[in-house]
Chain A
């Protein structure tokens, strides 16, 4: 059954996908750092959505929709509009290209990100395996 992008069910589905992916476990085995994936307001979306994911050595230890930005202080924050995330999640836009062209923005330790590009790719692959319903 399709789940709505940005919903608690969607982020739970992503957590399950990551925790059952050997490819992600291998690629992210050295990764330490939690994330906010922020969906910025656009069109009918009038308030940001804060998706929190605690990524630790190839596993996702926690994943939920945070009520507001202050709920957590993650090491990394990646943000973009709904339409940009839609393209990334549906594999129409390479996440690294999106970051390099400022369509997505990233704050955090860039050294660590640049050494773990495969993990980022596996996260996107996991997203594409979720049957996702987009509202716009």
Chain B
């Protein structure tokens, strides 16, 4: 028994104009400062104004939103009493909007207590619209929320199937100006979602096809979008790929690369997509070394020919590494500029946080503590995983 959850998705050029057709009285737009600077907030407000919806804006969500920001935003929502909440941005503002919505409806909840294990009763005061302005996190179509506890230097994976948007806008107009580094980081995040969602122990027939398609789109169009930001087709395909990968993994599960990436990102403030994609080939090797060859399906789907599953899997791992190199992405922890001494000092905490990250539960191969430590060591030094 399992579920498949998805918002209504409006995608393609001009998708934003759908906002002018929604019905409601008040909308609170949750964003980060860049969304105002780039004029994206005004574009959204203009559409909502056509629908005669009064708007307010909170555009102070930081990267890696904190528990305090979520509490503050929820208090603002309670003052204005919106019937729509609009999460506008990359993963951080959208995840913050989800958490603020939950606390707006349930003031008794703590942000880190938003759990998929109990009924929250959301949707009585407001509904959620998500508008993605990066092509990676898939946050616009997922119910997962990543928050940061600055005291513990830890990322927290929370969320409930109820923290899912009613409407997701996937309009490529917002990603045409993304700089190459952000294009690469977010695109590799989408790739990690798709590969992990496919390989996870919780994989299922409904999510598999989405993951396959997303992997294919990323390999075909991410290099183009990175090399030429004006390539409109590549931009649109990558924007779709991110949402498709998001649907794929949220209805299956992400796994070990995300658990390790969350731990590293929380400790050293490395962008999410760069973190998780850095660990992806290492964790694929770790799984493959124990005979997990589900990756071979993905390899075949993108045209990597091999005589058997083991070699197909190795081909896919090599293709991931090649893509990361082609995109100038970090392939080791050391290459992020993290000193050996700082890494060593943090290693046990990294292991603590990774092994208690919710994303680890569906890993195709579960590392024990010693293996997890060795995986971090391999990723630090850029050495292949041979165990």
Contact = CB atoms under 8 A, between A and B. Distances in A.
Contacts of B1: 101, 103
Interface in B193-238: 201-202
B113 interface: yes
A114 B358 contact: yes
Contacts of B356: 27, 115-119
Nearest to B358: A117
The contact size tier of chain B is 20 to 34
Q: Which of B116, B117, B156, B356 has most A Cβ within 10 Å?
A: B117
Interface residues of A, number: 22
Interface string A44-56: 0000000000000
Interface in A106-136: 106, 109-111, 113-119, 121
A99 interface: yes
A27 B355 CA distance: 8
Interface string A14-32: 0000000001001100000
A111 B361 CA distance: 17
Nearest to B118: A110
Contact of B366 (A101, A111, A121): A121
B351 to A, nearest CB: 9
Contact of B113 (A103, A110, A117): A110
A97 interface: yes
Interface in B335-387: 355-358, 360-362, 366, 368-369
Nearest to B366: A121
A97 B357 contact: no
Nearest to A110: B115
A94 B118 contact: no
A53 to B, nearest CB: 19
Contacts of A109: 113
Contacts of A114: 112-113, 115, 117, 156-158, 358
Contact of A117 (B3, B201, B361, B369): B361
Given A99-B117, A103-B1, A94 B201 contact: yes
B115 A113 contact: yes
A62 interface: no
A63 B172 CA distance: 57
A23 B202 contact: no
Given A97-B2, A97-B202, A26 B361 contact: no
Contacts of A116: 356
A75 interface: no
8 contacts: A97-B2, A97-B202, A100-B161, A101-B1, A111-B113, A114-B112, A117-B361, A118-B355
